[in-house]
Amino acid sequence: MKKRNVEVVVVSDIHLGTFGCHAKELLNYLNSINPKTLILNGDIVDIWQFRKHYFPKSHLKIIKKIINFASNDTEVIYITGNHDEMLRKFSDTKIGNFDLVDKLVLELDGKKAWIFHGDVFDASIQNAKWLAKLGGWGYDLLILINQIINWSLIKFGKEKFSLSKKIKNSVKKAVKYINDFEQVAAELAIDNNYQYVICGHIHQPQITVKSNKNGSCLYLNSGDWVENLTALEYHNKKWNLITYQKEEMESNTISDEIEEMDISLESLQTSLMLLK
């Protein structure tokens, strides 16, 4: 399958190094696109929950793919989040096509997009980091339990379901927090004359118009690669929220692996010629 050319791609909350990360699915998606700009909007590597004994090959392949993008004329912009906040000491670092920043303003066809992770709005992170970290561990455990439950459901021919989504949707405070987060981000964008505001952090994929007495803007959230498996794409002056589709995106991984094998065989042939 031919790769799709995309102007801008935004992914966030991958959480590499955790049990909940869907690295294989993300790799399939990344193999299906050819972006001019790839924006990694925080919580890419989960340094909070990093374990020396758990960082599988599929997670390493994501890092390799990102490096490959940067090596092949794709501009890669890594925006720091709360789970990878240790990288903030290296902010404003540029290496070739790779940039590490805390926030970003991007001009797209005459409109300004304000892009940041979103943890700045989270009082639990600002005032009680230990509590936020404890919540992160709890969330990772919940996702692991959910995977076991879904494995059992599939085995008995039943549909999967998201335990964390069910909890979020049933708890009024969680619903209010999401609504407040979106509204605050949008109002700040309107006040600063940004037409788009793009966040991650809350694992809630969204594209919606937000308005107040001073104007309106388009609020976007790229979701995550733990539960929702979503990304934002900007192409032909339009934003789209992409949800992972196994059937459409998996074939690209197979073709990429064949291509890598061809390159390896070609390198081997060249080496043998030199030995003769």
In the chain the domains, ranked by start, together with CATH numbers, are 4-244 (3.60.21.10)
pLDDT band at 90 (very low <50, low <70, confident <90, very high): very high
Read off the pLDDT of each residue in 172-192 and give the average, rounded to a whole number.
Answer: 81
- In this prediction the pTM is 0.77
Higher local confidence (pLDDT), 250 or 42:
42
**Distances from the Cα of 31 to the Cα of 226, 237, 253, angstroms:** 18, 23, 6
Mean pLDDT over all residues of the chain?
82
Task: Please determine, for residue 257, whether its predicted confidence score (pLDDT) is greater than 60.
Answer: no
Read off the pLDDT of each residue in 125-152 and give the average, rounded to a whole number.
Answer: 55
Read off the pLDDT of each residue in 113-135 and give the average, rounded to a whole number.
Answer: 64
- Which of the residue ranges 72-86, 100-114, 131-145 would you say has the lowest mean pLDDT? 131-145
Which residues, 6+ apart, have CB-to-CB distance to 162 below 8 Å? 146, 227
pLDDT band at 251 (very low <50, low <70, confident <90, very high): low
Instruction: Please check whether residue 54 is in contact with residue 19, taking contact to mean a CB–CB distance below 8 angstroms.
Output: yes
Task: Please determine, for residue 169, whether its predicted confidence score (pLDDT) is greater than 70.
Answer: no
Report the relative pairing of strands 93-95 and 98-101 from DSSP bridges.
antiparallel
Read off the pLDDT of each residue in 194-213 and give the average, rounded to a whole number.
Answer: 95
Most confident of the ranges 53-62, 109-118, 130-139, 163-172: 109-118
pLDDT band at 238 (very low <50, low <70, confident <90, very high): very high
